[in-house]
């Protein structure tokens, strides 16, 4: 059975029945037909194989970058199998600015709209014009507009109504020439004279200092979403915890850093089997070398239970956990 350890960044020792690669839409459709029980995978930075998968894992290696220019913007058509950080780096080098805040996020371009990846006050949905995909049932190419993608916080139509129904082949981005730099969030606000290059460098510096490199220490980045609660609930929480950090996101809602909640429950550095809650960034769970899926689930459930017990705030995993038959919900 093919080994999946090198195909997901948490690096658990899981297997699958078959492992295949596709480089274009027609090959993707053929493989999906050949293996009805399958899981589509990019670079595996947001998927954790908690046990052997009973189906086929199909790797999306669709490549390519096409660029056109209009009076007001640059338009990029990018293959779903391209590396995300490499795209951000290329865009910066070519003067296509705007995505610097999203530097060093692991994963593929095709995964970016699914998760609506975000960092430092910015989400990728801001720049996505359309998403090209293949409808698995009909084999037809479908193009979804920005609005049809239904982007939300780490969410999209691809995780909801279209889950398991489409194969993303290309993502089309629009980068306005008059884009205003976003330095309102976290450490970026300390930049005295921000430019796209200094934002890019700052983001890489901060992420590198806080987050473990998955090439050296297995992890899937942020394991949990930052919880969003209504203002009334937050005000009650703040009375009990005056020091609680937060971000107003509009719509009578407040976002709370999950890392702070986990830290308050004293999970930094705690270990279950070979899974450890990272000592400097508790939002990240790491594989010390021989972690198992059971270790991952136990640690995650312990954290979720502790946070909800103390704060009354439920945590939701940001990563996708894949078990024997498919996605698993904690």
Residues with catalytic annotation? 154, 222, 318
Distance (Å, rounded) from C-alpha 126 to C-alpha 43? 23
Q: Identify the H or E element spanning 140.
A: none
Q: Closest Cα partner for 5 from 47, 55, 37, 65?
A: 47
Distance (Å, rounded) from C-alpha 306 to C-alpha 29? 44
Q: Identify the H or E element spanning 220.
A: strand 218-222
Is the distance from CB of 221 to CB of 211 less than 8 angstroms?
yes
Q: How far is CA 58 from CA 7, 44, 131, 224, 300, in A?
A: 11, 11, 20, 25, 27
Distance (Å, rounded) from C-alpha 173 to C-alpha 19? 30
Radius of gyration of the chain (CA): 20
Question: Which residues does 15 contact at the CB level (< 8 Å), separation at least 6?
Answer: 1, 2, 3, 4, 52, 53
DSSP label at residue 322: E
Question: Which residues does 178 contact at the CB level (< 8 Å), separation at least 6?
Answer: 72
DSSP state string for 269-285? T-EETTEEE-SS-TTEE
Distance (Å, rounded) from C-alpha 191 to C-alpha 194? 6
């Amino acid at each position: 059975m093919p080994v999946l350890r090198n195909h997901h960044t948490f690096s658990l020792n899981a297997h699958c029945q078959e492992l295949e690669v596709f480089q274009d839409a027609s090959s993707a459709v053929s493989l999906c037909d050949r293996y009805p029980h399958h899981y589509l995978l990019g670079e595996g930075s947001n998927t954790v194989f908690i046990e052997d998968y009973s189906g086929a894992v199909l790797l999306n290696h669709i490549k390519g970058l096409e660029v056109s220019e209009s009076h007001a913007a640059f338009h990029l058509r990018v293959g779903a199998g391209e590396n995300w950080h490499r795209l951000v780096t290329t865009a910066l080098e070519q003067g296509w600015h705007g995505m610097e805040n999203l530097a060093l996020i692991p994963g593929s371009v095709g995964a970016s709209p699914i998760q609506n990846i975000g960092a430092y006050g910015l989400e990728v949905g801001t720049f996505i014009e359309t998403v090209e995909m293949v409808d698995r049932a009909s084999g037809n190419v479908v193009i979804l507009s920005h609005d049809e993608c239904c982007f939300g916080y780490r969410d999209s139509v691809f995780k909801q109504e279209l889950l398991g129904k489409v194969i993303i082949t290309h993502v089309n981005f629009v980068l306005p020439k008059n884009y205003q730099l976003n330095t309102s969030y976290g450490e970026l606000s300390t930049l005295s004279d921000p430019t796209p290059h200094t934002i890019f460098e700052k983001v890489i510096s901060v992420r590198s200092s806080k987050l473990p490199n998955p090439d050296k220490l297995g992890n899937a980045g942020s394991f949990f979403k930052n919880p969003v609660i209504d203002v009334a609930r937050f005000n009650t929480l703040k009375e009990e915890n005056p020091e609680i950090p937060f971000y107003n996101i509009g719509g009578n809602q407040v976002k709370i850093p999950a890392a702070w909640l986990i830290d308050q429950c004293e999970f930094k550095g705690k270990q279950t089997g070979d899974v450890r809650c990272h000592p400097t960034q508790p939002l990240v769970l790491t594989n010390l070398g021989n972690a198992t899926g059971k270790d991952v689930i136990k640690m995650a459930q312990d954290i979720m239970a502790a946070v909800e017990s103390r704060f009354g705030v439920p945590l939701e995993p940001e990563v996708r956990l894949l078990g024997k038959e498919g996605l698993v919900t904690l």
